[in-house]
Amino acid sequence: MTISFEGTRVVVITNALAGQAVARAEAVTTAVSLWRAHGWEVTVRETTKHGDAERYAREAVAQGAHIVIPAGGDGTVNEVANGLVGSTTILAPLPIGTVNVWAREAGFSMDVATAAVQIMTAQRSVIDVGKCGDRFFVLMAGIGFDAAVVQHLYARDKRRFGVMAYIGRIWSVMWGYRGQQVCVQLDDEVFDVSLLMMIVGNTARYASFIPFTPDAAVDDGMLDVYMLVGADMLTGPFRFLALYLKRIMPFLDPHGISRRVRKVTIDGTPIAMQLDGDHVGTTPTRITIQPSALHVLLTHSAAQTLRLAPWGMEKS
């Protein structure tokens, strides 16, 4: 089901500090003009601090908005999603962040002007979200090494260096990172391990290219889990490479643990956590799946790739 034009109420939530957003401000203005020219009633709100995007999204729901468009990166998408979960207001991303994983998963172009056109013809679908403590996530929860990387990544570096900021921080954190002893429960299965990293995926993509949870689906009512265990990260690059190549070279073993579950519990030594690329604190924690909790717009090609039926229709 695509969105009609005349009378559609849209709230655009901009994050002026996301990725290269300052340089793309003109493109956002052009996108808003395009939508208004096609009959959409568009309100633009700009965030000034963490939490604003979620609050604005909740207010948009209360005011009867049909679509909320986070014009930012995955952090902005996450905040908006937290404000929309449980409502029928639709999330549609305008990619102005550093990596824009959800926008890529949803099939939108990284060119803002093109993405603005795609939003007008996109298909409405409903997806699952993960829940970690009292926060929801669209993409993934990360525990351990990747969360430590995010924790030590400065926003100014992301704006200045883009993806290279992540790569630089990965290398600096990797050499001193050590596994932490924890008890992990995946549904009824218990692991006492030295945990280096855990990815709890709602979607298949991770940073657009590393297939930690390649079979994850956003509407299957399940979470896909990948655990990397060991004493340190010195062999990390080789294990990541083995994981990347495993689909074409099945004999490669990255020495990880993969499961598909509905509930994850982590106890033991406190470890850094991230949700959709933003640091959110430390374990212990409990992670669950919330089926059919968020309405989104997807391009038609992405909906087919993700095997999602349009909202209001049964999945074949």
Q: Are residues 212 and 254 in the same domain?
A: yes
Q: Are residues 178 and 265 in the same domain?
A: yes
Q: Residue 277, by phi and psi: left (phi above 0), alpha (psi -120 to 50) or beta?
A: left
Which residues form the domain of 243? 136-290
**How high is the pLDDT of residue 284?**
97
**How high is the pLDDT of residue 161?**
44
Asked whether residue 150 is assigned to any structural domain, the reply reads yes
- The CATH number of whichever domain residue 182 belongs to comes to 2.60.200.40
pLDDT mean over 230-256: 70
Instruction: Answer with the residue of higher pLDDT: 230 or 43.
Output: 43
Residue 267 contacts residue 192 (beta carbons within 8 Å): no
pLDDT score of 179 more than 50? yes
Q: Are residues 150 and 250 in the same domain?
A: yes
Query: Which of 121, 155, 178 is a domain's end point?
Result: 121
pLDDT score of 20 more than 60? no
Task: Check whether the bond before 93 is cis (ω within 30° of 0).
Answer: no
Query: Which of 121, 155, 175 is a domain's end point?
Result: 121
Asked whether residue 61 is assigned to any structural domain, the reply reads yes
Give tens-digit pLDDT for 188-215.
999 999 999 999 999 988 765 677 888 8
Q: Are residues 54 and 142 in the same domain?
A: no
Asked whether residue 313 is assigned to any structural domain, the reply reads no
Distances from the Cα of 214 to the Cα of 15, 80, 218, 233, 306, angstroms: 30, 25, 12, 22, 12
Only one residue has tokens 């995946």, namely: 186
Alpha-helix residue ranges (DSSP H) falling in 124-283? 145-151, 155-161, 163-174, 236-245
Amino acid identity for residue 284 in this structure: P
Q: d(Cα 201, Cα 178) in Å, to the nearest integer? A: 23
pLDDT mean over 167-171: 60
Q: How confident is the model at residue 256 (pLDDT cuts 50, 70, 90)?
A: confident
**How high is the pLDDT of residue 159?**
54
Asked whether residue 314 is assigned to any structural domain, the reply reads no
Q: Are residues 185 and 270 in the same domain?
A: yes
Asked whether residue 296 is assigned to any structural domain, the reply reads no
What's the total number of domains in the chain?
2
Residue 15 contacts residue 71 (beta carbons within 8 Å): yes
Cβ neighbours of residue 303 under 8 Å, at least 6 residues apart?
A: 107, 123, 125, 309, 310
- The CATH number of whichever domain residue 90 belongs to comes to 3.40.50.10330
**How high is the pLDDT of residue 244?**
66
Q: How confident is the model at residue 87 (pLDDT cuts 50, 70, 90)?
A: very high
